[in-house]
Amino acid sequence: MNAKQELLGKLTETFLSIKCASIDIEISYDITKHVRLPLDYSSEQYEEFLSALDIEYDSGYGSQNLFGRVWLTNDAWLERGEYDGSEWWNVKTLPNIHKELFNKDISISNITDTSEED
């Protein structure tokens, strides 16, 4: 899998763009490449960021190779998912605020378990 193409594919899928990013690429057991894209980045910085991600890795076997987070527009972000040697980008979004929290009054209550014990 190409890390750059994987990220660009996820961005295309979500219709969002990058706000900033912090990604670590494990090149070998003792070498990690740190790739950072700052807030308010320039087009040159964006191209350099993508170029640094233009590497091949095995996304379906072995240990995880990519770590980090990519902050996106609209309060969403990407973070790495991993299971049994496979890895991918997960899209995360802020949860909606419950409507009762827009009420200016504080609410404190006790919740009692009313289920009967056997």
Helical axes 43-52 vs 3-14, angle rounded to 10°? 130
Q: Could you report the per-residue pLDDT of 35-89, keeping only the tens digit for each?
A: 999 999 999 999 999 999 999 988 777 788 999 999 999 889 999 999 887 899 9
Give the Cβ contact number of residue 29 at 10 Å: 7
pTM: 0.79
DSSP-derived 3-state class of residue 25: strand
Q: Could you report the per-residue pLDDT of 21-43, keeping only the tens digit for each?
A: 999 999 888 999 999 999 999 99
Q: Could you report the per-residue pLDDT of 1-27, keeping only the tens digit for each?
A: 999 999 999 999 999 999 999 999 998
Percentage helix, strand, coil, to 5, in the chain?
20, 35, 40
pLDDT of residue 24: 94
